[in-house]
Structure 1
């Protein structure tokens, strides 16, 4: 087990140390669960009251919070505790599992596939015809990459992921366990005799930019024609659905259980809360925030925050909730 002094840790985050401790730090932990060998974090004043009760020897705190370190304990003040926490978690990160073989003997790699330098392919992986994989990409066991797909450099594809034919993926992407990329979009119309449904063929593809991360069990469907597009730097949580022909801009965030119907357009920096749903053929312009559990039924102007079902301006919805609460008390 690695251990570090407070000086070692502060060399990473460059904060201001208050107090001191002789205890070496072996891991980060929540304030309530920490022991004397843990470092913790206080990014909000409401958690400052937990510091005297915690057994942590060190805490990284926001510079606006005023508390005393205590005996044999230390605080490291920084401008943003959350960003410092990210640096420290990376510092303590034990790393991903290491594949022993460059290409596992049980993997099936088509003769026409092009693999870059230092590509690693785990057990039971299937790489189809004319697939191209960039330098340094790691593909963990039981992944399928179908024909004519392109994966960029330094990507990490976790077990169970399926990447369907003709998908294009940029550099430094991360797909977590059981991600589905490029499955058929959901397209059906009533049959002429009214006794069934006719499946609409989905012959487009998926195009994913650089630095995209997609959480476990999330699905990005391919376009009916043309492409479903995920912009650079977008981050998608677990159990998210992105419908066919949707277009996401740069650095969007979608939290768990949220979903886009077909042909939704998101501008840059759109944030969608957990379990929110967006109607088909709707545009959310850059900087929009959608509250958790909301249902967006129409276009939203840039920079707006909406919530509720159906979603409306957050201030109007909050007023409605207050009025309803007053009605309830009056009854």
Structure 2
């Protein structure tokens, strides 16, 4: 998430009331999670296990809970609770805005686009040309849709990320300030839930088609010309490359890549990266021919046991 204009390190420290290491005028241009940071961004870290990863990332400002040696060309924001203060920044730069009607006055809707009754279009949403938004669709604040997009009834674009920190008193939610971006010629079926990025974008690539009852987590990227069947659950921060086919009831864990041309057969439980142009099946999942041979061998076990006896 980039800020509307550049701020100084001193200004950001004042917002969250913390100490800092670096020049007062050190430039701060945005804030992001570690997998999408660029120079000028703030990244937060609150566990020693990940200090080095954050300090060595592309981010040039590190919000951290210990005063450590500051890498050259970077700055530190020293906080007793980086998670809390990251939320403070999200509230400051992306505060909640209520709606006064079904379609926000700040929404931009392209020529030839049809919005059916009871659809909700949030603040600062941009919708391209010749789209069809059916009844009871919700498109949250700041989401972007390209041209020729179809969204079927009951779908929610831009729900909050499922991202919590466990504390003694309960779960603390990380606020979501990102977007959902749907590219040209995408069709999304009924009752899908596509969460916005925490600070970046959740993306549905051009030409992809999604069936009904699909959950896509925050900051996940679906590539171009992908086909997703019903009842799929994809966690956050997944990369699905182009031309992937995912059949029904597949579950995909976070932070992995589904390579170009992959086919995931129904009910796969996907726990690691895939190889390009390969078909997988099963839980735990594996290359489909290998898994079928394993299944055939297991069916022979009762006969083998009889012979042993």
TM over 0.5: yes
Alignment partners' CA distance in 2, 1:247 and 1:127: 27
Alignment partners' CA distance in 1, 2:228 and 2:217: 13
Match of 1:126 among 87, 97, 102: 102
Q: Quick check: 1:177 aligned with 2:147?
A: no
Shift of 1:304: 1.0
Q: Which has the higher contact order (CA 8 A, sep 6+)?
A: 2
Alignment partners' CA distance in 1, 2:300 and 2:112: 60
Shift of 1:130: 1.5
Q: Quick check: 1:188 aligned with 2:185?
A: no
Q: Could you say which residue in structure 1 is the equivalent of 2:116?
A: 140
SS at match of 2:224: coil
Alignment partners' CA distance in 2, 1:303 and 1:230: 20
Q: Quick check: 1:306 aligned with 2:280?
A: yes
Alpha carbons of structure 1 residues 324 and 156: separation in structure 2 relative to 1, 3 Å: same
Structure 2, unaligned runs of 5 or more: 1-98
Match of 1:262 among 232, 236, 243: 236
Q: Could you say which residue in structure 1 is the equivalent of 2:256?
A: 282
Structure 1, unaligned runs of 5 or more: 1-108, 111-124
Q: Could you say which residue in structure 2 is the equivalent of 1:246?
A: 220
Alignment partners' CA distance in 1, 2:299 and 2:146: 49
1:273-322 Cα offsets, whole Å, 9 max, x none, are 10001110010111000010010000001111111001111111111110
1:66-88 Cα offsets, whole Å, 9 max, x none, are xxxxxxxxxxxxxxxxxxxxxxx
Shift of 1:328: 3.5
Shift of 1:129: 3.2
Q: Could you say which residue in structure 2 is the equivalent of 1:156?
A: 132
Q: Quick check: 1:293 aligned with 2:267?
A: yes
Alignment partners' CA distance in 2, 1:235 and 1:330: 46
Q: Which runs of 4+ in 1 moved over 2 A?
A: 328-331
Shift of 1:181: 0.2
1:48-72 Cα offsets, whole Å, 9 max, x none, are xxxxxxxxxxxxxxxxxxxxxxxxx
Shift of 1:126: 1.4
Match of 2:192 among 195, 200, 218: 218
Alignment partners' CA distance in 2, 1:257 and 1:168: 24
Alignment partners' CA distance in 2, 1:323 and 1:279: 28
Shift of 1:242: 0.5
Q: How does 1:38-117 map to 2 (within 5 A)?
A: none
SS at match of 1:245: coil
SS at match of 1:197: strand
User: What count of residue pairs does the alignment treat as equivalent?
Assistant: 207
